[in-house]
Structure 1
């Protein structure tokens, strides 16, 4: 059998395997030389420089539709929701001159229980407007719309919604749940409930505060027995009663106080749960609507010193024809929604970062100054820091022989213990150490100054802290301690916040830190530290903490 060779022909003959490639290359080169001899005038072409235009291609002009602005732009103000009504902060008016007129019992209680005869701006504009709407509803049940009220802390917002609600309930025949007031904290429940009891003295109006220190079942029995006209609660507690069958069919007013904080927290999805329950309980019967039914629908009253502009959060409230009331001087307003009291003076103290270890001692030295030795509220970042700071300041003041009365309120105390401390502070003065949770809505008119020992976490918290003083058109001071450049940068970010705070034309004053031997002015802060005493007190505090564990 013959074998087949796998070698190529050239390989069989012993030829060069690349000869064919070289041969084609040689023929190509010879051909180029012949062309060059025939056309000697053709030179080698020079490379051309190509200009490249990097400008974008022209695009067709987009249609301008004013309704298609961004969500971010929308959330910078509330003009998209309602046309704001601006009212001057300096307005006052005697309660006896209100139109429609207030009940004589309410005016008497305002004079004897609250010690006031004239209303502030937010009270004038909300009470009179709301009373007119309520009077119109007696003839025409068509809903008059909801209220969004933006006014500074200490401007009298609580009475602004309580007075018209109480006035509307005078003479009611059958007791039913007519009003729910939602607040963020238990201390604020106590405060609002106390105001209701004082305002309704001598009137046949029932009120009840829902608290978490008793079971829902026991509280439900109390609701059935008392049949309150007004209920004050936190959202979480209210939801528990809603799920337990609370009837909202006769509810006329839903008040959301400190709205920005409540809308930022879920509380068992309280907002959607409440609004859904309200809509279901107040549905018209078959074949009924506004025009053939005399059922008055619930109106929502939203109050805050830092009113949110977030459309997504406000959507959950399902507002109806909202009226936006802004208490501010119209000529100064630039869509600011953060208001501080008009008589508040803001100051800050820049301290070298190296002295951060002696921060409590720096605070004590600041409190030694006569104008800061009593009726002051000091803010810390947590319950634990408030308790320890109060004890350390007490030890330091005793060692140094200072006449300072240091107190602390925190959530480790029971309600009656907090109330007792707050009453003593209001009547006798002293220095009160507290946290942000206690700050919301705290109404102690004797507070002369607020001092931020720890910086707040947001502009809103700063507004609510400093708003604890300079209330009801009184004068007050807010001081912030900044240790090092990092604290100072954060402080500037908080207080300037893109120009959304209305400071009533005032600037923030810097207090310079000097030594006893330096040249100084009356406004300077003279800082001298006794480090040995400070270290002794720290050791003593450490022993106390270890012994309690």
Structure 2
């Protein structure tokens, strides 16, 4: 299957080719034709499944067939839970738009930074990607009008609700028109998500990409059994043993992330922390340096790391295991993308062994466990 079979216009196909996208992901194969027909859609898919392009491409095609609005009434609104995901979605939209017959302006707005520059950039925006709080701030200043949107996207709906944005969502939904195309994506389903689906979606096409099915075959997974006392020194030995240009390390708490970075830097390894206690400016700078290769190691918490999308990331390390098997899939799915090989390594203490077995069982794949004393002998 190729993008040419999905009903996309020649201009979009050319943009896809020039943006170096190859074969479509499963969610794109199912979602794009339905969205081009104007149907509502429910996408149940994990992070990294290709869902952003699955909705951005048909949205761009729909906008190409219409004249741009000349006031602050935006035609497309994408609601996301985090600043990083907002930036990522805007980057995808901009990446495709660069090659289209006319430029379609997209803009990411989020809190934690000055509101005035965002207000000044709103004019002519056709795809507005927003976190709920900042969107309400701008609506309160009459800087943006969402009463005439034609397409509403709620990306990572489960995280939007888990992060406490329920009241903000209810407020926003009072201002959007009843007649519109609505798209909702979520990695998980619970009562609140189900309630939102019933409220917003009209006979939606349902597309599901199971986390188990999504586990990339190109990811080489391994695990090392370590003691709590040797975990830090072993991590440093592991990093220094290879020539990985970029390494994303996951920690389960802000405190641990900061401690790991402190020890790495003290031992001459260039590293930076990435979590919710950092200012937006610090997070943006850290991510930019990591993406460009100026910083070799990024140590992140799960929540902050949502939205990090690096095409050729070679290595993910689980310094600590996540709470759920689904989060484990999300983590390792940061590598092994775009047809490239990747590697995921987990450091397992005796206390984490049972939880790691549960993760492997849910994943349906067993990971080779190596004792730390045998490090370097695994390939012999």
- Answering whether residue 318 of structure 2 is matched by residue 443 of structure 1, we say no
Specify the alignment match of 1:359 in structure 2: 231
Cα distance between partner residues in 2 of 1:160 and 1:228: 20
C-alpha displacement of 1:265:
2.4
SS at match of 2:312: coil
Cα distance between partner residues in 2 of 1:260 and 1:491: 24
- Aligned counterparts, 1:200-215, within 5 A: 200-201=97-98, 202=100, 203-213=102-112
Identify if the C-alpha distance between structure 1 residues 207 and 263 changes in structure 2 by more than 3 Å, giving closer, same or farther: same
Q: Is the 8 A contact 1:150 1:337 kept in 2?
A: no
User: CA RMSD, aligned part only?
Assistant: 2.9
Output the TM-score relative to the length of structure 1.
0.61
Cα distance between partner residues in 1 of 2:240 and 2:114: 47
SS at match of 1:177: coil
Work out which of the residue numbers 113, 124, 135 in structure 2 matches 1:238: 135
Spell out, residue by residue over 1:456-488, the C-alpha distance to the aligned partner (whole angstroms, 9 max, x if none). 23333322211211123332222221212x222
Where does the alignment leave 5 or more consecutive residues of structure 2 unmatched? none
Work out which of the residue numbers 467, 490, 494 in structure 1 matches 2:355: 490
SS at match of 1:472: coil
Specify the alignment match of 2:292 in structure 1: 424
Q: Is the 8 A contact 2:274 2:305 kept in 1?
A: no
Q: Which has the larger radius of gyration?
A: 1
Q: Is the 8 A contact 1:511 1:523 kept in 2?
A: no
C-alpha displacement of 1:416:
4.5
Q: Is the 8 A contact 2:111 2:133 kept in 1?
A: no
SS at match of 2:229: helix
Specify the alignment match of 1:286 in structure 2: none
Specify the alignment match of 1:190 in structure 2: 87
Cα distance between partner residues in 1 of 2:6 and 2:299: 43
Identify if the C-alpha distance between structure 1 residues 153 and 218 changes in structure 2 by more than 3 Å, giving closer, same or farther: closer
Specify the alignment match of 1:45 in structure 2: none
Specify the alignment match of 1:85 in structure 2: none
SS at match of 2:95: helix
Cα distance between partner residues in 2 of 1:364 and 1:219: 41
Cα distance between partner residues in 1 of 2:110 and 2:250: 26
Cα distance between partner residues in 2 of 1:99 and 1:424: 33
Work out which of the residue numbers 62, 75, 99 in structure 2 matches 1:168: 62
How many residues are aligned here?
Answer: 369
C-alpha displacement of 1:241:
3.5
Cα distance between partner residues in 2 of 1:228 and 1:386: 37
Specify the alignment match of 2:20 in structure 1: 115
- Aligned counterparts, 1:123-162, within 5 A: 123-131=28-36, 133-134=37-38, 144=39, 146-162=40-56
- Answering whether residue 366 of structure 2 is matched by residue 510 of structure 1, we say no
After the TM superposition, which of the residue ranges 406-415 and 199-208 deviates more from structure 2?
406-415
C-alpha displacement of 1:298:
1.6
Work out which of the residue numbers 307, 312, 327 in structure 1 matches 2:188: 307
Output the TM-score relative to the length of structure 2.
0.85
Spell out, residue by residue over 1:51-106, the C-alpha distance to the aligned partner (whole angstroms, 9 max, x if none). xxxxxxxxxxxxxxxxxxxxxxxxxxxxxxxxxxxxxxxxx41x3x23424242x3
Cα distance between partner residues in 2 of 1:343 and 1:277: 45
C-alpha displacement of 1:159:
0.9
Specify the alignment match of 1:43 in structure 2: none
Spell out, residue by residue over 1:225-244, the C-alpha distance to the aligned partner (whole angstroms, 9 max, x if none). x1421101112222333455
